[in-house]
Amino acid sequence: MFVTLDPMTDIASPAVPATPAVPASTTAARHRVWPILLVVLLADALDLIDATITNVAAPSIVRDLGGGSALVKWLGASYALALGSLLVLGGRLGDRLGQRRMLLVGMAGFVVASAVAGLAVDPAMLVVARTCQGAFGALLIPQGMAIMTKTFPRDALAKAFGAFGPMLGIFAVGGPILAGFLIDANLFGLGWRPMFLINIVLGGAGLILAARVLPRLEPDPSARIDLLGALLLVIAMFGVLYGLITGSSDGWHTIPIASLAVGLCLFGAFAVRQATTAEPLIKPTLFRSRGFVSGLVVGLLVFAAFNGLMYVISLFFQLGLGYSPTRTSLALLPLTIGIIIAAGSCMALITRLGRTLVLAGLLLTAAGAALMLWVVASAGLAATWWQLALVTLVIGLGAGTCFSSIFDTALGDIDHDEAGAASGSISAVQQLAAGIGSATVTSIYFAAVATGQTHAVIRGVAVVLGLCVVCLAAVPLLPRKAAALEH
């Protein structure tokens, strides 16, 4: 489903759709409403858990399969880029072919891809499986909101929205903790593999429940799908990222340079396609709003910085401080708790404070990054748990404030009839930012790791701090007020 946050970040209320709920007389029977909600939450749980588990699992996977720093970068990036590139297309396919059908296909494909990831014998097989997870996730995630909007009575829909924030928070906390415990438990001698294989159980249960309770909604055969635009975006994003990852890992020879050039050219072709096709994936009219464009840029930078920072902190805990996966996941709890506290607190303030909350979130995040620099520079590998807990808590508070405000504020000047398209574009950008950030910030970290863990962390965190400063300069361009709830 479309939400206003991602990995370790999807902790806020869903973007409320502009289309009103169908009256209760034409909806599914009320006793079937909550099982439908359970299916949607389970789908989101699969996405959130698999988006966050590699933050903690990357070192263990590399020790087993090899692949070095390049595999660390691709573990999160391949999933997020496939999901982000295809997310809007997945929603359109649900409109045309039926949301129930697409949800079942997406969940079944996600389960199969997870099984392949859990049984991977080399880095290439694992990256392909992660990419397939993201692609099937793009079919799975958008359908939940559409099904709920069409089948829930309005009072039940409001209650369902109220359940999402706490539940998504639990999933975000649970993903890294689950990964840490499963890796250290070494079930059946499988090491990290059960954290993917467990999706066979979760997804299998979701498939059975979905087949039983999801209503058969009428598809819209007239809905048009821009397959060429989606293909151009996917190839462009992977071309750019392949060039960045290969160049930073193996040197800037012909292949990474050519990959970057092809990716950028295809991205230009995608932009031309969106401006000329009758049914673009991203409406060109949205980019006439300065506030919306500014919000997309700020959101892209913030989510990229945060996702990259999560990898750097996790790698520092394990490779620098020698933490086990379980201890690492527990050490990250203050950060996730900070996100949940801030996001929950800001939900009631966003429509009144708008971009002021974005400013507060960026200042807090910058303060957390600066505090991280000070702790690592002064204490290094002797940093205590309470110093790191304070640092990660402040970063989490800042991130949670940003995550709950940036995109809602970006929608502040968008017309009501374009809110749905804008929300879909925002969700896609959020996922793309996660992939770009996890790859680029970790590239900076690994480029400096030869001179020591402390230096590598300082370099990575300094980039995050710099991005926060850039975003601060863009805050005055955002709309003053956020979108209203019904927007």
pTM: 0.84
pLDDT tens digits along 93-145: 988 898 999 999 999 999 999 999 999 999 999 999 999 999 999 999 888 87
Amino acid at 253: H
Mean pLDDT of 216-226: 80
User: Are residues 325 and 203 part of one domain?
Assistant: yes
Cβ burial 185-211 (10 Å sphere, 16+ → b, else e) = eeeeebbbbbbbbbbeebbeebbebbe
| CA–centroid distance for 213 within its chain | 28
Angle at alpha carbon of residue 5, lines to 3 and 11, rounded to 5°: 95
Instruction: Round to whole Å and give the CA distance between 363 and 398.
Output: 7
**251 and 338 together in one domain:** no
Percentage of the chain modeled with pLDDT above 90: 32
Domain final residue pick, 263, 278, 293? 278
Domain termination residue (choose one: 214, 249, 278): 278
Q: Which of 254, 264, 303, 316 is nearest to 440 (CA)?
A: 303
Mean pLDDT, residues 260-264 taken together: 92
Distance separating alpha carbons of residues 17 and 34, to the nearest angstrom: 19
pLDDT one-digit tens code per residue, 350-409: 778 888 999 999 999 999 999 999 999 999 888 898 999 999 999 999 988 888 788 788
User: Contact at 8 Å (CB) between 323 and 453?
Assistant: no
Calpha distance 456→445 (Å, rounded)? 5
Q: What distances in angstroms separate CA 284 from CA 52, 275, 316, 418, one per listed residue?
A: 32, 6, 42, 11
**C-alpha pair distances (Å), 474 with each of 5, 302, 353, 366, 467:** 20, 12, 17, 15, 11
Q: Collapsing DSSP states into helix, strand and coil, what is residue 191?
A: coil
Last residue of a domain, one of 212, 245, 278: 278
- Residue 14: pLDDT band (50, 70, 90) is very low
pLDDT digits 0-9 by tens, 292-348? 888 888 888 888 888 888 889 999 999 999 999 999 989 988 988 898 888 878 877
Which of the pair, 360 or 2, is modelled with greater confidence? 360
Q: Poorest-confidence range of 6-15, 24-33, 379-388, 450-459?
A: 6-15
Confidence of residue 23 (pLDDT cuts 50, 70, 90): very low
* pLDDT for position 225: 80
Flag whether 191 is in a domain: yes
Mean pLDDT of 30-52: 82
Tokens of 34: 């909550």
Give the pLDDT score at 50: 87
pLDDT at 420 over 70: no
Would 165 be classed as within a structural domain?
Answer: yes
- pLDDT bin (cut points 50, 70, 90) of residue 284 is confident
Position 30, amino acid: R
Output the pLDDT for position 342.
87
Instruction: At 285, give phi and psi (nearest 5°).
Output: -65, -25
Per-residue pLDDT at 123? 95
Q: Residue 485, Cα to own-chain centre: how many angstroms? A: 22
Question: 410: pLDDT confidence band, cut at 50, 70 and 90?
Answer: confident
Domain residues for the domain of 266 are 226-278
Residue 4 lies in a domain: no
How much is the pLDDT for 355?
87
Percent of the chain past pLDDT 70, that is, above it, reads 88
What is the mean predicted confidence (pLDDT) over 206-223?
86
Using the predicted structure, report yes or no on whether residue 2 has a pLDDT greater than 60: no
Burial call 117-147: b when 16+ CB within 10 Å, e when fewer: bbebeebeebbbbbbbbbbbbbbbbbbbbbb
Q: Are residues 384 and 235 part of one domain?
A: no
Going by C-alpha positions, the residue among 363, 365, 416 that lies closest to residue 393 is: 365
The top-scoring range by mean pLDDT among 10-19, 125-134, 213-222, 241-250 is 125-134
In a domain, 3, yes or no: no
pLDDT grade, residue 419 (50/70/90)? low
Residue 280 pLDDT > 90: no
pLDDT at res. 9: 38
| Same domain (yes/no): 252, 380 | no
Is 238 in the same domain as 313?
no
Token digits for 247?
């160049």
2 domain-assigned: no
Is the Cβ–Cβ distance between 486 and 158 less than 8 Å? no
Q: Say yes or no: 253 and 107 in one domain.
A: no
Model confidence at 483, pLDDT cuts 50, 70, 90, reads low
485 within some domain:
no
**Contact (CB, 8 A) for 394 and 338:** yes
Residue 291 near residue 478 (C-beta atoms within 8 A): yes
- Are 272 and 299 members of one domain? no
Whichever domain contains 51, its CATH number is 1.20.1250.20
Q: What is the per-residue pLDDT for 20?
A: 44
For the chain, the domain total comes to 2
Q: Are residues 255 and 365 in the same domain?
A: no
Regarding whether 314 and 259 lie in a shared domain, the answer is no
Confidence check: pLDDT of 219 > 90: no
DSSP characters over 381-436: GG--HHHHHHHHHHHHHHHHHHHTTHHHHHGGGS-GGGHHHHHHHHHHHHHHHHHH
281 vs 329, higher pLDDT: 329
Residue 484 maps to a domain: no
CA-CA distance, 425 to 296, in Å (whole number)? Answer: 9
Q: Is 276 exposed, middle or buried (0-12, 13-18, 19+ CB in 10 A)?
A: exposed
pLDDT-based confidence at 15, cuts 50/70/90?
very low
Same domain membership, residue 402 and residue 357: yes
Indicate whether 248 and 168 sit together in one domain: no
The answer on 162 and 260 residing in a single domain is: no
Q: For residue 5, is it within any domain?
A: no
